[in-house]
Amino acid sequence: MSSVTISKGGIERILSGHPWIYRADVADAASAEPGSVVRVVDRRKRFWGQALYSSKSQIALRLLTRENRPFDRAFLAERIAAAAAFREQIAEGAQACRLVASEGDLLPSLIVDRYAQCFVIQTLSQGMEKLKGTIVDILQEQFSPLSILERNDVAVRALEGLPEQKGFLAGEEIQEVVAEENGVKFGFDLLGGQKTGGFLDQRENRAAARAYARGRALDAFCYAGGFALTLASLCESVLGVESSAEALALARRNQELNGFTNVEWKEANCFDFLKTSDQAGERFDTIVLDPPPFARHRTNVESAMRGYKELNLRALKMLNPGGTLVTCSCSFHVSEADLLEAIAAAALDAHRTVSVLERRTQSRDHPILLTVPETHYLKCLILRVL
């Protein structure tokens, strides 16, 4: 196995508990094959761990282990089994969940999502791409899935010099699968849907929102109706608003799957919709705001904050007293404190008093690592308007 020499900065990264070592902290990678598992050493040849090496990305090394035993098929299988065992503990009964969450499961740049008997993977670095065949073998061995497909049609692959691609890797060619979540049936389009087919990270928040939902509800940025349909049995009526016609087609099909007759959908830009509804004096008892990430880069934080304030202002103005706002941000660069600040400003402008019922984050099958801030991206606040 070849070695990559890191500088002092790289050692500091490892000592700070972060698995990424940037190219600037690599002193010598001359002998390393792109995408190979390498020994990480310092200038004195001291061993620091094993990592996936990327010849293209600014993240040159992704640490796999500090241990000095071969990172082979058995090692990989062990990590996948451990990740799956944890889901048995915390996502028992969830037919769809994230089985392997990259850094959060000590398998940086690997995502494995399970939708009932169908598995979807993403290999987001040169190293994981090289291990793809082995990963598919291990998944077949451990779970005997009906099908495995890849959703590697994501832009971050370009940073690794990898092409965007999607398609079936093993088993039957099953594109659509139904999986139950919180007692509601959802059909997932594994090849055509957003992400790997659904927003699994909101599973626990959709369940949490059930504790408060009632009356007339609005699910803004509803995608395939995740929140709308989870809340439908508790509310008089639900309106799901979404700009993507494809997403709304899924939402309608999901509504039919469950037989709800009190849910309606509207294709619209939520910013426009919220503004006109507010101006028309519409009122709701429950509102969910789950927009896409407004700040994909640090430089967008300011405009993102304006976006969050605007959405939350409209929502707060339209909520009846005693009503609930479930408001989310999946922008890593916007912290929970930032989001609370934007909503506080909105509450002041709306002349509403707001209490914080729950401060939540992504579902536990998307683990947050204490020393890896990037693993904490989703904020979900459940608020009550007094």
CB 241 within 8 A of CB 219: yes
**Shortest-Cβ-distance residue relative to ligand SAH:** 226
Nearer to ligand SAH, 288 or 346 (CB): 288
Residues 6+ apart with CB under 8 A from 361: 368, 376, 378, 379, 380
How many angstroms separate the CA atoms of 30 and 42, rounded? 14
- Structure-token match 């004195």, residue found: 44
- Of these, 22, 86, 260, 271, which contacts ligand SAH (CB under 6 A)? 271
- Of these, 103, 113, 129, 290, which contacts ligand SAH (CB under 6 A)? 290
Q: How far is the CB of 104 from ligand SAH (least distance, A)?
A: 20
Q: Does 321 bind ligand SAH (CB under 6 A)?
A: no
Q: How far is the CB of 267 from ligand SAH (least distance, A)?
A: 8
* DSSP β-ladder status, 3-6 and 37-41: parallel
Q: How far is the CB of 273 from ligand SAH (least distance, A)?
A: 7
Applying CB under 6 A, the span of 112-120, 255-263, 265-273, 349-357 interacting with ligand SAH comes to 265-273
Nearer to ligand SAH, 119 or 186 (CB): 186
- Of these, 243, 262, 300, 375, which contacts ligand SAH (CB under 6 A)? 243
Active site residue 380: no
Question: From the candidates 97, 270, 328, 330, which is the catalytic residue?
Answer: 330
Give the residue among 66, 62, 45 at the shortest CA–CA distance from 53. Answer: 62
Applying CB under 6 A, the span of 61-69, 116-124, 152-160, 238-246 interacting with ligand SAH comes to 238-246
- Structure-token match 């619209």, residue found: 268
Applying CB under 6 A, the span of 153-161, 236-244, 341-349, 375-383 interacting with ligand SAH comes to 236-244
Applying CB under 6 A, the span of 51-59, 90-98, 155-163, 241-249 interacting with ligand SAH comes to 241-249
Residue type, 62: R
Q: Does 303 bind ligand SAH (CB under 6 A)?
A: no
Supply 258's token pair. 């469950």
Q: How far is the CB of 219 from ligand SAH (least distance, A)?
A: 7
Question: What 3-state DSSP class applies to 355?
Answer: strand
Q: How far is the CB of 296 from ligand SAH (least distance, A)?
A: 13
Q: How far is the CB of 327 from ligand SAH (least distance, A)?
A: 11
| Touching ligand SAH, residues 162-201 (CB under 6 A) | 194, 199
Q: How far is the CB of 144 from ligand SAH (least distance, A)?
A: 28
DSSP state of 153: -
Nearer to ligand SAH, 68 or 269 (CB): 269
Q: Does 329 bind ligand SAH (CB under 6 A)?
A: no
Question: What 3-state DSSP class applies to 201?
Answer: helix
| Touching ligand SAH, residues 200-219 (CB under 6 A) | 202
Residues 6+ apart with CB under 8 A from 8: 25
Q: Does 255 bind ligand SAH (CB under 6 A)?
A: no
How many angstroms separate the CA atoms of 305 and 342, rounded? 6
- How many residues of this chain interact with ligand SAH, rule: CB under 6 A? 19
- Of these, 108, 226, 307, 323, which contacts ligand SAH (CB under 6 A)? 226
Q: Does 65 bind ligand SAH (CB under 6 A)?
A: no
Q: Does 223 bind ligand SAH (CB under 6 A)?
A: yes
How many C-beta neighbours within 10 Å does residue 127 have?
A: 25
Q: How far is the CB of 194 from ligand SAH (least distance, A)?
A: 6
How many angstroms separate the CA atoms of 285 and 57, rounded? 47
CB 223 within 8 A of CB 247: yes
Beta strands in the chain (DSSP E): 3-6, 20-22, 26-28, 37-41, 47-53, 59-65, 96-101, 110-115, 118-123, 147-152, 165-171, 176-181, 184-189, 216-220, 237-242, 263-267, 284-289, 319-329, 354-361, 379-385
**Phi, then psi, of 76 in degrees rounded to 5:** -60, -45
Judged by the rule CB under 6 A, the positions of this chain that interact with ligand SAH are 194, 199, 202, 221-224, 226-227, 242-244, 247, 269-271, 290-292
Residues catalogued as catalytic: 330
